[in-house]
Amino acid sequence: MGTMGAAAFAALAACGSGSTSSSTGGASAGSKASGVVTFGSNQSDAVPKQAYADIISAYQAQSNGVTVTTNTVDHNTFQENINNYLQGSPDDVFTWFAGYRMRFFAEQGLAGDISDVWGNISGQSDAMKGASTGSDGKQYFVPFTTYPWAVFYRPSVFTAKGYTVPKTMDDFYTLSAQIKKDGLVPLAFADKDGWPAMGTFDQLNLRLNGYDFHVSLMAGKESWTDQKVKNVFDAWRKLLEVSQPDSLGRTWQEAAQSLQKGESATYVLGMFVGQQFTAGADREDLDFFTFPEMDSNIGTGAIEAPIDGFMMASKPKNPAGAKDLLTYLSSAKAQEVYVKGDPTVIATNSGADTSTYTSLQKKAVDFIGSAKNISQFMDRDTRPDFASTVMIPAIQTFIGNPSDVDGLVNSIESQKKSIFAS
Amino acid sequence: MVAIPSIVVVGLIWLPAISSVILSFTKWNGIGNISADDFIGPTNYRNVATNYPPFWPAMTHNLIWLTVMFLVATPFGMFLAVLLDKEIRATRVYQMALYMPVVLSLALIGFIWQLIFSKDNGLLNAVTGSGIDWFGDQRYNLWAALVATSWRQVGYIMLLYLAGLKAVDQSLREAAAIDGCSESKAFFRVIFPVMRPINIIILVVTFIESLRAFDLVWIINKGRNGLELISTLVTQNVVGEASRIGFGSALATVMLLISSVFITIYLRVVMRVDR
């Protein structure tokens, strides 16, 4: 116990020396953290909830004085109440997402500046730091886990039927014709909940128009009536021909099951698709490839990989303790505990031990590591009100009636103007 | 003694209602205080009517909802109540069976109908061999939702009406029987008219429930893709991260206006009864 305490103290002292000169966190990072830190978690499912409990007890064992009270709230309720929650009396540290969703709350003054914490963080890449930075250049977020969006498939099905992984969209359509002939659905598809199809839009837009256009379109800086956007919908209309029909009545879980049963050959989704596969041999038989190339000038360097992590309340009751906990959560050690419990995500800390990773997790590490650009996800990269009240109905309208692209983009653009104006 | 109810009514009903109306002229996003430059006049209403594709479908769906409840579900519930009132054998069993949906939690009701209407794994398609996407196809999902809602509404109306029927003076029926009235004639000429107060309550309940219609479609698909209702649009805009409080309030005000039409009619009818 004595040695552990000393080690923790040494670590804290190191924090202190790192940031004593900075004006921001002198009081907090310099003094020793103690007291109670409250932690608001949206991880209400049994497995992640237990993993968090393990992390917190590991933290308390080495923190030498800080106790953490965890308030777990149902995932959807947490998201829907985030505004009230942050304006009421939020927990000192809470779970959230990177990207526009983080910047939005930082800009409203509802999140605490943790730039000084970043002085003590190691193993998080510059890309991770960028994704944690608000529009004012300060950091407001600590990355914890991430997972890629890609085209998932079962290697056993591909081997049995003699399919090869398509590199370009032309390859994919050639393959799709063969898959159809074999009596399978080429591409599983579901959009009952409104958000999964956003991922398909993102992939098509990244492949056709590139990362920079995608980001600036999401930021409201491009016109949705631009020919580039129409091209995305035109390409999507073609893709719908090989996609699972009746997607608006199907949840992503049901679509994932059709992949799992071998009724569909591929599925564009996040790595959480693995949750619908039972652990063991079934889950081992799951692999992915990047969304095929559509324009050789653009290539496939841009991928989508949302980052989940933590933020600090703007006025935490225990700032020193909160920052200490955040530093711990950014560490490889804490993240290793979590990813063991949930093998459909990977740690964001490059120092995390990957030897216990599943082959899918290992592949995700390489995939994200070698990406040139990483986008978050439509509802994390744009204004939340635009994503949920305009884009969800618009995409569902498109899926129901893919022919009227002009009317659709005009409607999106005029709604965008009214929302981004406020 | 009137003070407490008054405070409750003003505090819980009038203040929120008036605030909604005021907020509907702002672009407030729910964060911080409202300032003068948040006021944008009737822009939200203009956007609702001209620049918000789900709005008119929602109005139509609310109207269809009301019509079906009013012409199908409610009369059917009343019919069942009349049948059960005849003290047929095992009437308690029927009552319980029909009332069951009203007691079940909505999450459970959503789940039950999901099992029936799901395209790939649903009971209905498995039995009939059809491949209809009941909850995903705009041509069918509103009707599927209406079947599920009626299932609940019928039981609710039945119980209300049964209670009313039990309270009807037995001597009226006997007098009608002695006069040689057929059963249906006795019901429409004698029983139905004396049940005026309960009939009005049933009418109001049907109107209010149709306007409030929300829970079931929210469970099905959050009120999108053919299941838009005014109440779901309000929720989508106000609750959650979207926080278009001003815009959502404009939608809520539209809903308030429509319901106040019915409330006015109701009050006038009730006043006339009192006089």
Whether residue A250 is predicted with pLDDT greater than 80 in this model: the reply is: yes
Render B88-119 in DSSP notation, one character per residue: -TTHHHHHHHHHHHHHS-HHHHHHHHHHHH-T
What are B69-92's pLDDT values in tens digits? Answer: 999 999 999 999 998 888 778 888
Identify all chain A residues contacting B32, using CB atoms and an 8 Å cutoff: 108-109
Judge: B236–A388 Cβ closer than 8 Å, yes or no.
Answer: yes
pLDDT for res B179: 87
Which of A145-154, A280-289, B239-248 is predicted with the least confidence, judged by mean pLDDT? B239-248
Q: Which two tokens stand for residue B174?
A: 């006997």
Mean pLDDT of chain B: 87
Residues A176-187 as b/e (b if ≥16 CB within 10 A, e otherwise) read: beebeeeebbbb
pLDDT for res B1: 67
pLDDT for res A32: 67
Nearest to A400 among B51, B221, B225 (CB): B225
Residue A11's pLDDT band, with cuts at 50, 70 and 90, is very low
Q: Is A164 helix (H, G, I), strand (E, B) or coil?
A: coil
Which of A267-276, A357-366, B77-86, B256-265 is predicted with the least confidence, judged by mean pLDDT? B256-265
Helices (H) and strands (E) counted in chain A, each on its own, are: 21, 12
pLDDT for res B240: 75
What are A187-238's pLDDT values in tens digits? Answer: 999 999 899 999 999 999 999 999 999 999 999 999 999 999 999 999 999 9
Identify all chain A residues contacting B54, using CB atoms and an 8 Å cutoff: 393
Whether residue B19 is predicted with pLDDT greater than 50 in this model: the reply is: yes
Judge: A400–B138 Cβ closer than 8 Å, yes or no.
Answer: yes
Q: Which residues of A touch B (CB under 8 A)?
A: 79-80, 82-83, 87, 101, 108-110, 192-194, 246-250, 254, 258, 384-385, 388-389, 392-394, 396-397, 400, 411, 414-415, 418-419, 422
Mean pLDDT of chain A: 89
How far apart CA A91 and CA B8 sit, in angstroms, is 32
- What sections of chain B are H helices per DSSP? 3-9, 15-23, 43-50, 55-68, 74-85, 91-103, 106-117, 123-128, 141-166, 170-178, 183-186, 192-194, 196-212, 215-221, 230-238, 245-274
Judge: B236–A79 Cβ closer than 8 Å, yes or no.
Answer: no
What are A370-389's pLDDT values in tens digits? Answer: 899 999 999 999 988 899 99
Judge: A83–B31 Cβ closer than 8 Å, yes or no.
Answer: yes
Contact A190, A353 (CB under 8 A): no
Judge: B31–A393 Cβ closer than 8 Å, yes or no.
Answer: no
At residue A323, what is the residue type?
K
Q: How crowded is the C-beta side of B98, counted as CA atoms within 13 Å?
A: 26
At residue A117, what is the residue type?
V
Q: Which residues of B touch A (CB under 8 A)?
A: 27, 29-32, 40, 43, 47, 51-54, 118-121, 133-138, 141, 221-222, 224-225, 236-237, 239-244, 246
User: A59-63, A129-133, A270-274, B164-168: which has the highest mean pLDDT?
Assistant: A270-274
What's the gap in Å between the CA of A244 and the closest CA on chain B? 12
How far apart CA A49 and CA A303 sit, in angstroms, is 29
Identify all chain B residues contacting A194, using CB atoms and an 8 Å cutoff: 221-222, 224
Whether residue A13 is predicted with pLDDT greater than 50 in this model: the reply is: no
How far apart CA A16 and CA A25 sit, in angstroms, is 9
What's the gap in Å between the CA of A396 and the closest CA on chain B? 6
pTM here is 0.87
Count Cβ atoms below 10 Å from residue B274 Cβ, excluding itself: 5
pLDDT for res A421: 81
Judge: B244–A384 Cβ closer than 8 Å, yes or no.
Answer: no
**In chain B, what percentage of residues exceed pLDDT 90?**
37
ipTM of the complex: 0.86
Identify all chain B residues contacting A111, using CB atoms and an 8 Å cutoff: none
For chain A, first and last CA: distance in Å? 56
What are A105-134's pLDDT values in tens digits? Answer: 999 899 999 999 999 999 998 888 988 999
Identify all chain B residues contacting A400, using CB atoms and an 8 Å cutoff: 138, 225
**Of residues A51 and B271, more confidently modeled:** A51
**Of residues A19 and B103, more confidently modeled:** B103
How far apart CA A55 and CA B44 sit, in angstroms, is 47
pLDDT for res B273: 61
Q: Is A41 helix (H, G, I), strand (E, B) or coil?
A: strand
Judge: B221–A193 Cβ closer than 8 Å, yes or no.
Answer: yes
What are A292-336's pLDDT values in tens digits? Answer: 999 999 999 999 999 999 999 999 999 999 999 999 999 999 999
How far apart CA A165 and CA A287 sit, in angstroms, is 11
A399: CB partners within 8 A, 6+ apart = A191, A197, A240, A247, A248
What are A331-385's pLDDT values in tens digits? Answer: 999 999 999 888 899 999 999 999 999 999 999 999 998 899 999 999 999 988 8
How far apart CA A384 and CA A101 sit, in angstroms, is 7
Cα–Cα distances (Å) from A205 to A193, A210, A235, A404, in that order, read 21, 7, 10, 18
How many contacts does A have with B, using Cβ atoms within 8 A? 94
Judge: A385–B243 Cβ closer than 8 Å, yes or no.
Answer: yes
Which of A55-64, A270-279, B125-134, B237-246 is predicted with the least confidence, judged by mean pLDDT? B237-246
Contact A356, A370 (CB under 8 A): no
Judge: A246–B52 Cβ closer than 8 Å, yes or no.
Answer: no
pLDDT for res A16: 37
pLDDT for res A211: 94
Identify all chain B residues contacting A87, using CB atoms and an 8 Å cutoff: 31
